[in-house]
């Protein structure tokens, strides 16, 4: 029995679109920051007596469509290790599941880490990341602490993410504003496929991604807060513009999302360094410097649309926390 913890990450340059859906090869490269305080804790127990894999999330059996995805993932774990029996998996999320808070990122990173360890194979982080990618593209980045980059892939070819700086490299604060904790109605997977097929801007998105990635990597490595923040906002808005231009439209925002975005722009105009990013859901993540955290939190908590605010710092790599 092995237990691992992995943290969620926010993409500063977004991954959206697949070059090869069968292996989750991303069509564009992405760069992320792993967050403290938002994590998945997963225990894997392989047992000869089991006739099938069993999955529990927050103490409940997972829905059938999610079970199939998890079974495929565990089949891949069995292929890559010497183990040939089924297992029982218990996961706990420290935050609302499937609400655009990257639960699949921390979920598959924790599962890949715990499962390979329980199966007796100790993979180096790049290989573990490549395995986690098969569960969810963004999970490849949650294997690493701090800043991670997942390169674009192509048909039949994709790598794992690499760490470009660890969690101690640059103290930053990320405030995660929950505007609606209920599960989203369209998965990232389905939403990406729709966008690729139906947005007239998809090619422009792919064509501009390599430049965004190079600019972001350089800005992170020289700890240029305003350059990182401005490009993170741009990448998020470009991705949401792409979703909105899809037919039928993909609109993850709610009035609370807009209220937070407007407040961040307003306080920035008053001289407070804050930038937002949004994933495939209505929550907003606000990036600021640690000494501005309390002030930014005060402004956000004054908005009636905010349900909850979690303060995060750069988070650590996925790791084994218990084995017996």
| Among the listed residues 281, 216, 252, 24, the one whose alpha carbon sits nearest the alpha carbon of residue 138 | 24
* Residues 56/124/165/4 CA torsion (nearest 10 deg): 20
Applying the rule CB under 6 A, the residues between 264 and 323 that interact with ligand PMV are 279-280
Report the Cα 66 to chain-centroid distance in Å: 17
Structure letter (DSSP) for residue 298: H
Question: Which of 40, 91, 188, 195 touches ligand PMV (CB under 6 A)?
Answer: 188
Q: Which stretch binds ligand PMV (CB under 6 A): 60-68, 85-93, 98-106, 193-201?
A: 98-106
The count of residues interacting with ligand PMV (CB under 6 A) is 15
14 binds ligand PMV, rule: CB under 6 A? yes
Nearer Cβ to ligand PMV, position 11 or 128?
11
Q: How many CA atoms lie within 13 A of 194 on its CB side?
A: 16
Shorter beta-carbon distance to ligand PMV: residue 285 or 299:
285
Q: Rounded to the nearest whole angstrom, what is the least distance from the CB of residue 201 to ligand PMV in the complex?
A: 16
Residue 40 near ligand PMV by CB under 6 A: no
Question: What DSSP string describes 159-199?
Answer: ---EEEE-TTSS--EEEEEES--SPPSS-HHHHHHHHHHH-
C-beta of 45 vs 187, nearer to ligand PMV: 187
Compare residues 45 and 253 and give the one whose CB is closer to ligand PMV: 253
With a CB cutoff of 8 Å and minimum separation 6, the contacts of 5 are 39, 40, 41, 42, 110, 318, 319, 321
The size of the chain, in residues, is 324
Q: Is 136 in the site for ligand PMV (CB under 6 A)?
A: yes
Query: How would you write 238-279 as a 3-class SS string?
Result: HHHHHHHCCCCCCCCCCHHHHHHHHHHHHHHHCCCCEEEECC
**Footprint of ligand PMV on residues 16-35 (CB under 6 A)?**
16, 30
Q: Indicate whether 246 belongs to the interface with ligand PMV (CB under 6 A).
A: no
**Binds ligand PMV (CB under 6 A): choice among 34, 43, 104, 195:** 104
CB nearer ligand PMV, residue 2 or residue 136: 136
* Residue 199 within binding range of ligand PMV, rule CB under 6 A: no
**d(C-alpha 99, C-alpha 275), whole Å:** 21
Place of tokens 């499937």: 98
Select from 91, 93, 138, 246 the one that contacts ligand PMV (CB under 6 A).
138
Residues that bind ligand PMV (CB under 6 A): 11, 14-16, 30, 102, 104-105, 136-138, 188-189, 279-280
């Amino acid at each position: 029995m092995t237990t691992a913890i992995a943290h969620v990450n926010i993409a500063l340059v977004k991954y959206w679109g697949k070059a090869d859906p069968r292996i989750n090869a991303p069509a564009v490269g992405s760069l992320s920051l792993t967050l403290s305080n938002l994590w998945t804790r997963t225990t894997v127990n392989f047992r000869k007596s089991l006739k099938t894999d069993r999955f529990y999330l927050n103490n409940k059996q997972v829905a059938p469509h999610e079970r199939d995805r998890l079974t495929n993932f565990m089949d891949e774990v069995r292929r890559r290790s010497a183990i040939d029996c089924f297992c029982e998996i218990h996961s706990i999320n420290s935050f609302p599941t499937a609400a655009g808070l990257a639960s699949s990122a921390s979920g598959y990173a924790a599962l890949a880490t715990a499962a390979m360890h329980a199966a007796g194979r100790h993979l180096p982080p790049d290989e573990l990341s490549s395995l986690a990618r098969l569960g969810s593209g963004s999970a490849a980045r949650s294997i690493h602490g701090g800043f991670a980059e997942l390169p674009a892939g192509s048909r039949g070819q994709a790598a794992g993410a690499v760490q470009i700086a660890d969690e101690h490299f640059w103290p930053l604060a990320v405030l995660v504003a929950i505007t609606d904790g209920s599960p989203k109605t369209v998965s990232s997977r389905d939403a990406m496929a729709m966008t690729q097929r139906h947005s007239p801007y998809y090619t422009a998105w792919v064509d501009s991604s390599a430049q965004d990635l190079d600019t972001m990597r350089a800005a992170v490595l020289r700890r240029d807060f305003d350059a990182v923040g401005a490009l993170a906002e741009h990448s998020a808005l470009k991705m949401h513009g792409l979703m909105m231009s899809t037919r039928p439209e993909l609109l993850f925002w709610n009035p609370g999302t807009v209220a937070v975005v407007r407040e961040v722009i307003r306080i920035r105009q008053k001289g407070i360094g804050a930038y937002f990013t949004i994933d495939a859901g209505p929550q907003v993540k606000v990036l600021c410097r640690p000494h501005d955290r309390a002030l930014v939190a005060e402004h956000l908590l004054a908005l009636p649309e905010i349900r909850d605010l979690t303060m995060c710092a750069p988070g650590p790599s996925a790791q084994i926390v218990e084995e017996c």
